[in-house]
Structure formats: C-alpha cells, structure tokens
C-alpha cells in the first residue's frame, strides 16, 4: 500500500481539528476517526507536533536547516582543540623528548621546531 505523505501544515491542521472536536465533547477516538487517521498516526503526530503553532513550526524548520552547518563548525573547532592540546604537550617537553613527541603525533610532525 502506498504511503500518503502529509506535509507539516496538513498535520497541524488535522491535529487542530481533532483538538477542536475533543474540546467540543467528543472522545479522542471519535475525533480521530472524523479526521480519518489511525491511532498510531495520531499519537506519532501528537508526540512530534503537539502544542506547536505555525510560528514554532517555521522556527523548527529553520533550525533544522542550520544544523548541518553548525555541526561542521563544531567538528572544525574540536579538531583545532585537539591540535592545540597536542601542541601544548609537545611544548611542555624537553628538547630531546619534543622531537620524539612531534614524530609520534603525525598531524604535528612539522612542529618539531616549537
């Protein structure tokens, strides 16, 4: 059976419709049936989108678009931190051990003259 894809706005409309029916005196099962969705779908949607307005949804989408670039920046910063930590270890050693440590850390092999 083919999946019927619903976009986020349609999901919010359906949840709002169910909420209006529920506050109008229907139980959740009847309100859900009038919207034409299953129990599993309703509770999945409610868990993800329950209590979110349209403004929050657009903010949520914007944050999801920013996430990959933020993860990339974080990865670069972690790498810089690691390199600086290794450089500090090498810097704190004596001259003979400094050369050995610089050879040990392949990413800092050029830093023998620190």
- How far is residue 76's CA from residue 106's CA, in Å, rounded to a whole number? 18
For residue 105, give the DSSP letter. Answer: S
Q: For 68-100, what is each residue's pLDDT tens digit?
A: 999 999 999 999 998 888 888 777 777 777 777
Q: Are 10 and 1 in contact (CB under 8 A)?
A: no
Helices (H) and strands (E) in the chain, counts: 5, 0
Q: For 95-114, what is each residue's pLDDT tens digit?
A: 777 777 767 665 444 444 44
Tell me the helix, strand and coil percentages in the chain, rounded to 5: 80, 0, 20
Q: For 30-68, what is each residue's pLDDT tens digit?
A: 888 888 888 888 888 888 887 787 888 888 888 889 999
33 sits in which H/E element: helix 28-35
Cα first-last separation, the chain: 66
Angular region, 36: left φ>0, alpha ψ -120 to 50, beta rest: left
């Amino acid at each position: 059976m083919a999946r019927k894809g619903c976009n986020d706005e349609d999901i919010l409309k359906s949840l709002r419709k169910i909420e209006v029916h529920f506050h109008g005196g229907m139980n959740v099962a009847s309100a859900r049936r009038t919207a034409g969705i299953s129990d599993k779908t309703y509770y999945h949607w409610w868990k993800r989108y329950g209590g979110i307005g349209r403004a929050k949804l657009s903010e949520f989408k914007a944050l999801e678009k920013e996430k990959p670039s933020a993860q990339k920046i974080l990865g670069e910063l972690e790498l810089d931190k690691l390199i600086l930590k290794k450089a500090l270890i090498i810097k704190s050693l004596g001259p003979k051990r400094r050369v050995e440590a610089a050879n040990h850390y392949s990413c800092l092999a050029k830093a023998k003259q620190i």
